[in-house]
Amino acid sequence: MENSNKTHNVNIANMTSLMSPNELKAEFKASSDHVEFIYNSRQAVQDVLDKKDNRRVFVVGPCSIHNMDSAIEYAEKLKVLSDKFSDKMVLVMRTYFEKPRTRTGWKGLINDPDMDDSKDLQKGIRLARKLLVQITDIGLPTATEMLDTITPQYLSDLVTYASIGARTSESQPHREMASGLSMPVGFKNTTDGSLSVALNGMASALSSHSFIGTDQDAKLNVVDTTGNQYVHLILRGGHRGPNYDAASIRGAVAQLEASDFNTSLVVDCSHGNSEKKYKNQEKVLKSLIKQIQEGDQHIRGIMLESNLKSGNQSIPKDLSQLVYGQSVTDECLDWEMTEDLLHYAYSSL
């Protein structure tokens, strides 16, 4: 054994070449119509955050995407409501392809598209971009969590809204990435419910950074960013309890004001705010709508986790046993409940 092999890549089992972003984009192209649609969708979200547009943003959809057919079916249903409610609501579909895990578990469509631990990332990232093109064709803006710091070069031109999750808001690479992303980015409070990490993340992402990243040909570069002026806070509750009530909103706004940040925020009806029970999302949404009715101008967006069927399921060894349209990660509302809640929100705003 050569001496270099004793210290280099000791725990690396294999490396496989990945197509470049340009190669993937040549296969699944963003047309000029797609570009115009994404630009206008981002502008709409930014105007809501700036309080120039008095509509509210609703980020709605599956906790995670694992089936292309059910995702398209969901998108087609949501598009109908998007057109119907467009004067009061900007509907954005959740297209979450990567899942952070507290310990272990399925890491999402990009990392394991066949759901069998084969980890075919080349296939996963192709499926993710293909789906984003298809949903954009339908006429819906999309939202995702930016988890891996390389994948935005492959996908982000087709994404209207991004979030930095509770487990990564403290991560320097994610803060640097957010500072260079081209769309509005929400920072979630940590899993314990603390806001300080998210606020520090926002401060960092508002600033310029230099870091090592890839270009469209997958070559390493020093990336210089200008800072993202549309970073904002997402309240998602935590282990210590929910934070969607009026007192929690006032407290969050006070902390945003103290840091001289934009006081617009988004509230996640799921996760800690629903205590991970999908039916509780209704209670959260109705509380938020009531606060808006009573004059709150800081709640600019609402998130719902929703799928075709309610609840969730474990991933079986025999994938033919998967229930179509049901989440394999967090519990979700079913479509009927989602439709009712969006009708309620629209009629109440």
Residue 295 contacts residue 216 (beta carbons within 8 Å): no
Q: CA–CA separation, 344 vs 81, rounded Å?
A: 12
In the structure, what pLDDT confidence band is assigned to residue 5 with cuts at 50, 70 and 90?
confident
In the structure, what pLDDT confidence band is assigned to residue 105 with cuts at 50, 70 and 90?
confident
The encoded tokens of residue 319 equal 């994938």
Residue 3 has pLDDT above 70, yes or no: no
Sequence-distant (6+) residues with CB within 8 A of 172 are 204
User: Does 298 fall in a domain?
Assistant: yes
User: Does 1 fall in a domain?
Assistant: no
Q: What's the CATH code of the domain at 206?
A: 3.20.20.70
- 327 DSSP assignment: B
User: Does 14 fall in a domain?
Assistant: no
**Residues of the chain with pLDDT > 90: what percent?**
95
pLDDT at res. 2: 54
pLDDT at res. 4: 64
Helix spans in the chain (H):
21-27, 32-49, 68-84, 121-138, 152-155, 172-180, 196-206, 246-258, 280-293, 335-348
**Section 60-75 average pLDDT:** 98
**Section 197-222 average pLDDT:** 97
Which has the closest alpha carbon to 88: 300, 332, 236? Answer: 300
Each residue of 146-185: pLDDT tens digit? 999 999 999 999 999 999 999 999 999 999 999 999 999 9
- 3 DSSP assignment: G
User: Does 17 fall in a domain?
Assistant: no
Helices (H) and strands (E) counted in the chain, each on its own, are: 10, 10
Which has the closest alpha carbon to 340: 56, 60, 143? Answer: 60
User: Does 15 fall in a domain?
Assistant: no
φ/ψ of 185, rounded to 5, equals: -130, 125
Total number of domains constituting the chain: 1
Q: CA–CA separation, 50 vs 15, rounded Å?
A: 45
The pTM of the full predicted model, rounded to 2 decimals, is 0.96
Q: CA–CA separation, 6 vs 11, rounded Å?
A: 11
**Section 105-120 average pLDDT:** 93
User: Does 10 fall in a domain?
Assistant: no
Structural domain boundaries, residue 337: 23-348
User: Does 16 fall in a domain?
Assistant: no
Each residue of 86-101: pLDDT tens digit? 999 999 999 999 988 7
**Section 272-301 average pLDDT:** 97
In the structure, what pLDDT confidence band is assigned to residue 102 with cuts at 50, 70 and 90?
low
Region of poorest pLDDT, from 100-104, 172-176, 207-211, 260-264: 100-104
**Section 71-85 average pLDDT:** 98
Residue 1 has pLDDT above 60, yes or no: no
User: Does 45 fall in a domain?
Assistant: yes
